[in-house]
Structure 1
Amino acid sequence: MPFQSHTNLPLLPQSQSQKSRQSQTKQARQKEEWSLSPHDYALVDRNTFTPQPKAEIQDKAFFMQDEQQVLQARWDMLRREKQEVFASYYLFDGNRLGRIALAELRQAAQRGARGRLVVDQVAVDAWRDEKIDLYTLKALQEDGVEIRQFHPVSFYNPMHYFDWRSYSRLHDKLLYLGGQQVLFTGDRNMQNFNFRSQNSKGKRGMSYRSVEVMTQGSMVEEVLPRMEQVWAESQPYVLENLDTRMVDRARMHLERALAWAQERFPTNPANWADTLQPVNRIEFVGDNPALKGQVFPIDERVIHMIQLAKQKIVIMSPYINLSRLYRRLLQEAIGRGVEVQLITASRASNDNGFSFCIFSTQVKALRKMGIKIFYHQGPDFLHAKMFVVDEEKVLLGAHNFNHRSTYNDVESGVIIRDRLWVKRQIGAFLGQIRRESNTLPDEKPQTLGQCLSFAGGRIMRMIPWWWKQW
């Protein structure tokens, strides 16, 4: 079923007549609270997405939320790979887990597999205490691993502030194994506290509440072409005139990390591919980095799913900032009798206070619409992102329902369609999160910093769309 054109989207409540809708003046429409912007119209009117028929190859998926299980599955599958390993990440630290991942990637390259890694340059450089050092990168390059940085920019150069690539960042969390035709995706970056691991000081720190899915089937044919698009938009690291002794030392650290990982996570003789469960259909969706902000593959599918929703819609993300288009579509769904739930992080379980304050400015209006809002109370940071419709379809990946995900960040994910699988796997996880949440409004800002953040959130709601980089 193709998209409805924006001419078919009601701009007033369904109870008003067609005659009154036509007689409404342009000035009144601009004052309407839920009026759509020209950019929202362009998104709905694009009308490019048409659902594809079910593939002949059996699609399979395995849902994981335990971080130790995710690590074991990644290492076991990676050690079996003999053809190609392609990883694409937003944050990839040089700490213990990051070094283990690099060591496993190096080991795969030494076995003859092609090893490639793409990281977001701005995000990686922002974590300077934990960033991958140049000597490690050089050792990996010499050992056959290809590493590129996505949209490298220097904020010491004033001209980069006017370059759109400075604001288009890679938000992937993908691990593709070509020989086994397996894709890992979810919301976990390659950082210690994404896996409830010890930090550099040996202390057990906070962890993100995240999810991951391992998939296999016909959808992997769509993965590699899209990842090649990301590879083409990235640039290799230029590493010259480095001390060879430091490079050898970095190589030694990689070998130690690999030995520790093989002791801590010994290879499981059972094949993780046997744990994959058959599902009706899996579709991979990902932004083309060269067309970000012009083509919206993920948002187009989300809009289509909202329009077809009959019973229930669940949106989970820690960084929600619903556009007028999404609010209008959800309002129409509620008018059809669809239950809409938003699950987000509370002030205590959110790692981005500014984003939380921006969402707080929408809460009153969303509740008035009839949307149920759940605040996760922790103790871990809620980082899972998913979109569930009628307990039948689920979008899993890195996509947040905010301006950055739509217009700036290069996102990816998978859409799984299977009522039984979604109800058992995703339904159980959502039930657990709801039990750890409450529906009460979050406490009002108390400290000066919280007040400033809350005021900043209100200001951001009034800034024109082209300056909203959050």
Structure 2
Amino acid sequence: MKKIIIAVLLFVVAFITYVIFSVVIVYKRQPKISAEYISSFDPDDFFSDQVSCDRACVIEDNMQALIERLRMIERASERIILSTFDFRADNSGKKVLAALYNAANKGVEVKILIDGYCEMIHMKNNPYFMALSTLDNVEIKIYNPINILKPWKSMGRLHDKYLIIDNELYLLGGRNTNDNFLGENGHKNYDRDVLVYNTRPDTRDSSIYELYNYFDKIWNMKECRYFHDKASKGKKKKVFKAVEELKNIYLETMQKYPFLTEEFDYTAVTYKVNKISFLTNPVHIKAKEPTLFYSLISLMKKAKEEVKIHTPYIICNEMMYEALKEVCKGKANVTLMTNSPANNDNPFGASDYMLHKGKILDTGINIYEYEGGISYHGKSITIDHNISIIGSFNMDLRSVYLSTEIMLVADSTDLNKQLKNYMNYYEEASVRVIDLERVEMPEGLKRQEFTDKKEILVKIIKLFNRFRYLM
């Protein structure tokens, strides 16, 4: 018996070593930007003197973000596309599932793309997702499902978040589909979406078609597999109960928010846009060429007056530090707001910032630390008075090299003004970093403090900072 226990322990240790070694080796190499991409990228392509058929606005409030998703799904008549990193069957998630189930029952084609990590943690054998997936006109695919026997594939994750309705509307940003980001329940995070309305759906002029093409590119990858799509799953008792619950949730939601079924004037709530473009990473599951980061830096270097960067966390390598230095050498005043370590709900981001804060300051960037008490997840950049950039990309090594990411770039003075107003609101609850020891505190603002548990966790993570390229 003793020999069996020893053999089992040795196997477990060997397997864990195999997993760690595979991940560390495969993703340690960080590709450089290619000459081909540099020659193909022109910042001037993101500007236009003509007004486009697209209009846009920022969706800032979590409750508004849930309402808008439900309204859009209710409006759909032909097809719905949803791509997200994390989808949960919690309070808000069930409302979205119920709306999608109702739309599919009305004949709307529904396609949902979800990351494999979320499937493993929140979706496997979940009756609510199985209830939706068994409908004839619903397809759910999983990007890069977790396979512990192939750990070298594990770090390539789907981090995009967007919802597309027919050829008319889409919502894109940093919010996952769960209570952390939607509605008024659960552990709250502040994040942001941009809503785009195509005023000429009968033409092919809108940016919505570029987003469709991007979705199809990932959807058709061999690394994406179907989630339970057999009709027989719908006959299980727990799935049948989930269907009835979703139907009741839909009816209750419509009774509580009857305006969701009414006609809505999107022109009245959106702004004129000259041009909308997208910046993305490569979509394969290996370590990626940093095309999106290079593109953002190139656009920021064009600034003449001001660059404002908001990111939940900032984890850089030497390439990124040097790129930020180049931006700061220009004419524009460059500021960056991120969570203070104690306000950050990501212990990896908090620990790395504490260790490398000096290097960030050395780039010449003006740093603000958000102290609002609720973790800030907004991922946005404004450049001068007209360029607004919103999406899923964090200023960290994972977003630069490991995950799929998408950022919307809009040339619009009105949208830029709206976004800056929201960004300024958060900056009012932040401290300006003077140096490693000193900050400038607004009157009445209190600095957040670590809980004992979080402080211990951050200290432990610091010991493994050499593996920061996986964070």
Match of 2:303 among 280, 288, 309: 309
Aligned twin of 2:428? 435
8 Å contact 2:276–2:411 — kept in the other structure? yes
Counterpart among 117, 124, 130 of residue 122 in structure 1: 117
Do 1:90 and 1:124's aligned partners in 2 also have CA atoms closer than 8 Å? no
**CA separation in 1, counterparts of 2:448 and 2:237?**
55
Alpha-carbon separation, structure 2, partners of 1:172 and 1:57: 24
Distance 1:287 1:364, change over 3 A: closer
Displacement after TM superposition at 1:115 (Å): 0.6
Matches within 5 A, 1:30-429: 39-40=31-32, 42=34, 46-50=38-42, 51-52=44-45, 54=48, 57-126=52-121, 128=122, 131=123, 133-143=125-135, 144-155=137-148, 157=149, 160-162=150-152, 164=153, 166-180=154-168, 182-198=169-185, 205-217=186-198, 218-233=206-221, 234-238=224-228, 242=233, 244-268=236-260, 269-274=262-267, 275-290=269-284, 293-422=287-416, 424-429=417-422
C-alpha distance in structure 1 between counterparts of 2:270 and 2:277, whole Å = 16
Q: Which runs of 5+ in 1 are unaligned?
A: 1-36, 199-204
Instruction: Tell whether the 8 Å contact from 2:52 to 2:272 is kept in structure 1 after alignment.
Output: no
Quote how far apart the aligned CAs of 1:292 are: 6.0
Q: Which amino acid aligns with 1:237?
A: F
Q: Residue 38 of structure 1: CA displacement?
A: 8.0
Shift, 1:447, TM fit: 5.3
- Residues 1:453 and 1:81: Cα distance change in structure 2 (over 3 Å): same
User: Distance between the aligned counterparts of 1:42 and 1:284, measured in 2?
Assistant: 19
Shift >6 Å, 4+ stretches: 442-446
C-alpha contact (below 8 Å) 2:342/2:350 kept by paired residues: no
SS of equivalent to 1:290: coil
How do 1:8-47 and structure 2 match up within 5 A?
Answer: 39-40=31-32, 42=34, 46-47=38-39
Looking at structure 1, the residues matched to 452 and 36 of structure 2 have their Cα atoms a distance apart, in angstroms, of 41
In 1, Cα distance between the equivalents of 2:209 and 2:408? 13
Cα distance in 2, alignment partners of residues 187 and 299 from structure 1: 16
Q: How far apart are residue 398 of structure 1 and its match? A: 0.6
Shift of 1:307: 2.2
Q: What is the identity, as a one-letter code, of the residue corresponding to 2:138? A: V
Q: For 1:38 and 1:207, locate their aligned partners in 2 and report how far apart those are by CA, in whole Å.
A: 33
- Compared with structure 1, are the counterparts of its residues 372 and 236 closer, same or farther at alpha carbon in structure 2 (3 Å cutoff)? same
Distance 1:291 1:125, change over 3 A: closer
**1:105 counterpart letter in structure 2:** L
Contact in 2 for aligned 1:285/1:414 (Cα 8 Å): yes
Tell me the TM-score normalised to structure 1 length.
0.80
* Preserved contact between residue 358 and residue 454 of structure 1 (Cα < 8 Å): no
- CA shift at 1:358, angstroms? 0.6
Question: How high is the sequence identity, in percent, across the aligned residues?
Answer: 20
SS of alignment partner, residue 334 of structure 2 = strand
Q: Deviations over 1:407-443 (max 9, x none)?
A: 1111112111123430x20111121111111125588
Alignment root-mean-square deviation, CA? 2.7
* Residues 303 and 380 of structure 1: CA distance in aligned 2, closer, same or farther (over 3 Å): same
Measure how far apart 1:395 and its partner are: 1.3
Pair 105,445 (structure 1): closer, same or farther in 2 beyond 3 Å: closer
Matched to 1:263, the amino acid is Q
Which amino acid is the alignment partner of residue 138 of structure 1?
M
Change (3 A) 1:392 1:352: same
Distance 1:230 1:304 in 2: 26
Aligned-residue offset at 1:468: 1.9
- Whether the 8 Å CA contact 1:90–1:171 is kept in 2: the answer is yes
After alignment, is 302-311 or 239-248 more displaced? 239-248
**How many angstroms apart in 2 are the aligned matches of 1:434 and 1:183?**
28
Matched residue SS, 1:358: helix
**Structure 2: segments with no counterpart, 5+ residues:** 1-28, 199-205, 434-438, 440-446
Number of aligned positions between the proteins: 414
State the 1:154 CA deviation: 2.7
**Could you tell me which amino acid in structure 1 is paired with residue 242 of structure 2?**
A
1:388–1:394 Cα contact (<8 Å) kept: yes
Q: State the alpha-carbon separation in 2 of the partners of residues 132 and 272 from structure 1.
A: 39
What is the match of residue 469 of structure 1? 470
CA distance in 2, matches of 1:216, 1:256: 30
* Counterpart Cα distance in 2 of 1:351 and 1:443: 12
Amino acid corresponding to residue 344 of structure 1 in structure 2: T
Compute the TM-score of the two structures, normalised by the length of structure 2.
0.80
- The letter of the residue matching 1:207 is K
With over 3 angstroms needed to count, the CA separation of the structure-2 counterparts of 1:308 and 1:410, relative to structure 1, is same
> CA distance change for structure 1 residues 420 and 74 in 2, over 3 Å: closer, same or farther?
same
**Aligned pair in 2 of structure 1 residues 267, 449: CA closer, same or farther (>3 Å)?**
closer
Partners of 1:176 and 1:38 in 2: CA distance: 32
AA matched with 1:306? M
Aligned to 1:450: 455
> Within 1, Cα distance between the matches of 2:457 and 2:240?
49
